[in-house]
Amino acid sequence: MSGVAILGVFVADTTFTADRQPEVGETILGRSFTLGPGGKGSNQAVAAGRAGADVHFIARLGRDAFADMALSVWSEAGVTPAIIQCDEPTGAAMIFIETGSGDNAIIVAPGAAGGITPADVEAQADVIAGSAVFVTQLEQPMDAAICGMQIARRADVTTILNPAPAATLPDGMLALCDYITPNETEAQALSGIAVSDLSSARAAADALLRLGVARAVIVTLGAQGVLYHDAERSVSIPAVTAGSVVETTGAGDAFNGAFATALAEGRDPVDAARFGCACAGLSVTRPGAAASMPTRAEIDDLLALSPMGSA
């Protein structure tokens, strides 16, 4: 087995900036508008593809211009689509950003992506079973994510759950996770332990291991890097700095895609997490999510200049 299979969501992000939000019934002039690819699963697939993985992305799209955008983005990143196309519109998000403060408000209409079913996932069972690593998140329906993880587990494929956005998991789902990659908020939601520093991150990770995570918990801590924690090792891996921070959107997706890539290559998971940190460190120096994902050469060059994390 080789490569990475990712189950997730694609949505088209429409981003508007204005001095304030309009009142109900009011029309105002905005300052800027952008249209680009989004969705955590899609972003992770692009990150993995650019990082060098043989990656397949399982998703559900409509038959429209937004679907064409998705296919173009994946083609450029070397991602092989394993998609279900339907007559529903491809998902989209409306992102409002307030000029000056940067505060945002978001409306997501999942569209086709919201309708992916376990049967759709079963139809891609050969893709999942033929991979070294399977990744999913919580943007698509929960039963579809569970189905994908069950297929992977039966085929002895390594599983990664990025539990975002935060949600209550059904009984038994954590036991399907070889690795789980929550941020501070998600780790708290899953463990019941507030995460504010390395000590509390370790406590939350211990709780998640007791709840059933099979191999390790990797808590992503933003500017503090990540904590890798399993039954034998607890390693703080610092953020890898690549320049001035421009935008943090997509940093977590960069980490997950690159981490999966390195695991699929057979790397030790601590080394794979460091590879993920380097990918995330590069992504935040550029605007956008999918557009910010670095190439394999850029990641390798940055790692050659960066120190290892500490125990």
Chain segment 172-220, per-residue pLDDT in tens: 999 999 999 999 999 999 999 999 999 999 999 999 999 999 999 999 9
Distance CA 152, CA 125 (A): 8
Q: What is the CATH number of domain 4-8+39-89+113-304?
A: 3.40.1190.20
The separation between CA 311 and the C-alpha centre of its own chain, rounded to angstroms, equals 25
Position 23 scores a pLDDT of 92
Mean pLDDT across 225-245 = 93
Cα-based distances in Å from 110 to 61, 114, 145: 10, 5, 15
Of 165 and 158, the structure prediction assigns the larger pLDDT to 158
- The predicted model scores a pTM of 0.93
Pairing mode of beta strands 11-18, 4-7: unpaired
Please give the average per-residue pLDDT across 92-119, as a whole number: 88
| Residues 6 or more apart whose Cβ sits within 8 Å of residue 126 | none
Supply the pLDDT for residue 134.
98
102 alpha carbon, distance to own chain's centre: 23
In 3-state terms, what secondary structure has residue 58? Answer: strand
The residues near 65 (Cβ < 8 Å, ≥ 6 apart) are none
Give dist(CA 209, CA 203) in Å, integer: 10
Residue 126 annotated to the active site: no
Mean pLDDT of 16-34: 93
Full DSSP string of 31-45:
SEEEEEEE-HHHHHH
C-alpha distances in Å from residue 214, one per residue of 92, 159, 179, 182: 35, 10, 7, 15
Residue tagged active-site, from 103, 178, 253, 268: 253
Residue keyed to tokens 């370790």: 202
Do residues 164 and 144 lie in contact, with contact meaning Cβ atoms separated by under 8 Å? no
Two tokens, residue 271: 């080394």
**How does pLDDT run across 51-100, given as a tens digit for each residue?**
999 999 999 999 999 999 999 999 999 999 999 999 999 999 898 888 88
Cβ-based neighbour number of residue 46 at 10 Å: 29
Question: pLDDT category, 307, cuts 50, 70, 90?
Answer: low
- pLDDT digit string, tens, across residues 262-297: 999 999 999 999 999 999 999 988 888 888 899 999
Establish whether the linkage from the previous residue to 89 is cis, with ω within 30° of 0. no
| Least trusted range by pLDDT, from 40-49, 55-64, 102-111, 112-121 | 102-111
Domain ranges in the chain are 4-8+39-89+113-304
